[in-house]
A and B are shown apart, each in its own frame.
Chain A
Amino acid sequence: MSFFRPNKYKTLTDLVHACQKQDARAQTVLYERYKTKLAGVCARYARTDAEAEDIFQDSLVKVFRFIQELKEPESVDSWVKSVVVRTAINYYNRTTKTEALSVSLDLLGNDPENDDYGRIIDQIDMAVLMEVINQLPDGYRIVINMHLIDDYTHVEIAKMLSIAESTSRSQYMRGRNLLLMKLQELGITQNEIY
């Protein structure tokens, strides 16, 4: 019989099980474990810092409320991330009514080489890149984030957003072109600076 709780949860499974029993200490440990990573994900999906905080808060509340339904504690990392993504989608489903999406599928100006975009992304400051992504319209930003960074397929995106797969693809194409345009502008600016 132990009078004191162990200082650490030996495995991730132990931690999840403790959270499923609504152990407040385990919840704090889980929060500390994921807070910076999830705050980064929220920042990508959100338009502003305030919205990112809202999504972060909603996500963590859902994580702690529904962790009892998690059948495989080993997959908690991907589960927590999926909760954040879904919360972000719901957030913009609630707030976004209509958007004027009138971006051409064609790239603007001179086409740089594909590798140039990679180089631009590597070189620019993180805050600048975040700003570029945040400035994308909600629909584009979500699809770009899901498909390019979080590795969701168009089938999965269509299912999660309750849209057709073709809509997901076209949204992605428009969003990607808009991103490339912005990166292209940034590359030119960067080149001018250097």
Chain B
Amino acid sequence: MKSTDEPIDEVLRKALKRKFDTFEKEPDPSLIQSIFHTLKVGQSPGIAQQFIQLSLLFAIIVTATLMFLSSWEEDPKNTLAGLVTPKTEKGTSLHKGIVKHDKSLEGELKGRKVYSDENRKDEKLTREQPVEITQESVRLSEKLKRPTVAANKLLRKSEKGLVTKTERFKDDTESQSDVYDAQKLSVLPVFAGEKNRTDYRKEIGVEQETTFPTQASDVAGNDGQNKASPINNLELLDNRQPVFSSFPRKEMVVNTTPPVEAFPAVKDRNQWRFLATAASMNTFQLLTIIPDPKIRYQNFRFPDRISVSSLGHKFNVGVEKNGFQFLLNYGQFKQSLIYEIATDEFLVEHDETSDYKLIRKGTPVEKKSTFRLLGLGVKKHVVAKNGPFKNYYLDLGTEVSRELSTRQNAVWGNFGIGKQITVSRKTSLVIGPYFEYSFVKLKNTENRFQIQPYQIGLSVGLRYLQKQ
């Protein structure tokens, strides 16, 4: 549009340009410091970020401590020392038995000497003294607990009805052969003379003398004395439990296995587990507005801290091995806010203090958007196996996800704690609070807003072990 003022405008423009084109002014030297200080403050992490970082550091330390404790307890040396030492001080029968045979074995190995009164006196002293656990004694105790091949063989035959009387007796004897071999005790009193044998029987609490049938003829029993003996009755012999008078059986069969749980844990540390979890979370967000001189935003309103509009969901499926979980996840959450775009109109209001207040009018805008994220994640899953937090777990992980509509990438850190409940031998349920935080700001394409979400909620999942 032409105007009558154009010539004078041109004159003014040229004159002012001549004057101002080369116009420069030295700014205050202190301004550079304040500018770069402002930049550094803007770039430094905020209080929320520092809190998250400290929380993650704390979580890492706790995780490392739990892992160290669990691995220390799984060490066989530590376990044996931890289990046996206190019982030894109390002098339980198990440890007396173990030590007694170990000492006897020592004596036998040194020169296969006859089991004499002196030996027995030594043994009495040994029983009353504090014991010392050796690797040899531990091996022997393990051997005693283990069923022998011969015993298993006999069991299978008896189930099929194929075992003969002689064979049954023979196998019964063989089934204990490992015990004999290990303890070297059964033979020793036999060759120690009648007096010593009697004393020994009294000492170990077996009053009636029992003869060991070593040959078939002994079992058959031809002379009169043997006929009167119950051993001649083969029926009785068949049903008789093998008794080894020289071996204190009762002391040796003390059960050292821990109480059986309803669902004993399967040794699965190196096996793959399948996982499926679902989490319902309340979403919070840090909102950043990119400045735009053309638009002025005002009067922001956000949904309530806990509301349906800020509810998000997340689903994970994956596998686990050695406590490391590899997950494919899908999640979605909503962003909702109301704001105004300021106009040039102002409203003068008279408030209670008789002052006039100038209020800028604005065009209200309600913004709702849904973020859908698909990603991959890795987690460390640690379960406390002992102590007051037994069966409580701690998860710490990270994941990378892609927003499906705006095609932005996000990096998340997540943290979860809770209880692991055994449902069956192969399946366990995990339930507990869950927290995740995005390290990346997600841009909203329709306006100049950036949001940095973080979510707190409840996670429920199932862990399934495929193999036995």
Contacts and interface: CB of A to CB of B under 8 A. Distances in A.
Interface string A110-148: 000011011001100010010000000000000000001
Nearest to B13: A148
Interface residues of B, number: 40
Contacts of A43: 25
Interface string A20-55: 001010011001000111111001100000000100
B11 A39 contact: no
B291 to A, nearest CB: 7
B269 interface: no
B39 A61 contact: yes
B12 A176 contact: yes
A149 interface: yes
A148 B12 contact: yes
A57 B293 contact: no
Given A57-B35, A117-B15, A160-B293, A180 B8 contact: yes
B32 A31 contact: yes
A53 B38 contact: no
Contacts of B290: 66
A162 B358 CA distance: 19
Contact of A39 (B12, B13, B26, B291): B26
A97 B35 CA distance: 27
Nearest to A86: B293
B27 interface: yes
Contact residues of B: prevailing secondary structure: helix
A53 B34 CA distance: 11
A39 B24 contact: yes
B36 A162 contact: no
A149 B27 contact: no
Contacts of B296: 90, 93, 162
A56 B17 contact: no
Nearest to A116: B11
17 contacts: A24-B36, A27-B39, A31-B32, A35-B26, A37-B24, A40-B23, A43-B25, A53-B28, A60-B31, A61-B38, A90-B291, A117-B11, A118-B12, A126-B23, A162-B295, A162-B343, A179-B12
Given A90-B296, A118-B15, A122-B15, 16 more contacts: A24-B36, A31-B32, A36-B24, A53-B28, A56-B31, A64-B35, A64-B39, A87-B293, A89-B293, A93-B296, A118-B11, A122-B19, A126-B19, A162-B295, A176-B8, A180-B8
Interface of A: 22, 24, 27-28, 31, 35-40, 43-44, 53, 56-57, 60-62, 64-66, 86-87, 89-90, 93, 97-98, 114-115, 117-118, 121-122, 126, 129, 148-149, 159-160, 162-163, 169, 173, 176, 179-180
